[in-house]
Structure 1
Amino acid sequence: MVVRATAQRLRDSRRRTADRRFGIHLLGSAAVAAVAAVPFGLLLVLIEGQWRPLRRLDVGAARRLHATALGHPAWTDTLRFLSDRVWDPTTLRTVVALLTGWLLYRRAWRLAAWSAVTAVAGGLIGLLVKMVVERARPSLVDPVAHAPGFSFPSGHAMTATTSFAILLLVLLPMVPRAVRPLCWCVAVVSVVGVGFTRVALGVHWFSDVVGGWLLGLAVAALTTWAFEAWRTETGRGPAPLKEGLEPELTDPEPELAPATPAAPDRPGQSVSD
Structure 2
Amino acid sequence: MATRVAVRSLRERRRQAADRRFGVRLLGSAAVAAIAAVPFGLILVLVEGQWGPLRRLDSGAARRLHGLALDHPAWTSTLRFLSDRVWDPLTLRTAVGLLTVWLLYRRAWRLAAWSAVTAVAGGLIGLLVKTVVERARPSLEDPVARAPGFSFPSGHAMTATTSFAILLLVLLPMVPRTWRTLCWYVAVISVLGVGFTRVALGVHWFSDVVGGWLLGLAVVALTAWAFEAWRADAGRVHADIGEGLEPELTDERPEPGASGG
Same fold (TM over 0.5): yes
Deviation track 1:207-246 (CA, whole Å, cap 9, x = no partner) reads: 0000000000000000000111112222323211111000
1:40 Cα deviation after fit: 6.6
State the superposition RMSD in angstroms: 2.2
Are the aligned partners of 2:108 and 2:259 in contact in 1 as well (CA < 8 Å)?
no
C-alpha contact (below 8 Å) 1:100/1:112 kept by paired residues: yes
Q: Report the equivalent of 1:266.
A: none
Identify the residue that residue 194 of structure 1 maps to in structure 2: 194
**1:85-140 deviation per Cα after TM superposition (whole angstroms, max 9, x unaligned):** 00000000000000000000000000000000000000000000000000000000
Distance in 2 separating the partners of 1:146 and 1:233:
48
Higher helix share: 2
Maintained 8 Å contact 1:40/1:214: no
Task: Report what 1:46 is aligned to.
Answer: 47
Q: Is 1:185 matched up with 2:202?
A: no
Q: 1:54 to 1:257 in 2, by over 3 A?
A: closer
Equivalence map 1:128-167=2 (5 Å): 128-167=128-167
Residues paired across the two proteins, number:
224
**TM-score (normalizing by structure 2):** 0.81
The structure having more radius of gyration, on CA atoms, is 1
Q: Does 1:84 align with 2:78?
A: no
Question: Under a length normalisation based on structure 1, what TM-score does the superposition of the two structures give?
Answer: 0.78
Name the counterpart of 2:233.
233
Structure 2 contact 153–211 (Cα < 8 Å) conserved = yes
SS in 1 for 2:140: coil
Q: AA paired with 1:160?
A: A
Cα gap change, 1:201/1:243 in structure 2, threshold over 3 Å: closer, same or farther?
A: same
Partner in structure 2 of residue 208 of structure 1: 208
Q: Give secondary structure in 2 for the equivalent of 1:83.
A: helix
Q: Note if 1:127 corresponds to 2:132.
A: no
Three-state SS of the structure 2 residue aligned to 1:152 is coil
Q: Unaligned stretches of 5+ in structure 2? A: 1-28
The CA distance in 2 between the partners of 1:64 and 1:251, in whole Å, is 51
Q: Measure, in 2, the Cα distance between the counterparts of 1:181 and 1:131.
A: 37
- What are the ranges of 5 or more consecutive residues in structure 1 without an aligned counterpart? 1-28, 259-273
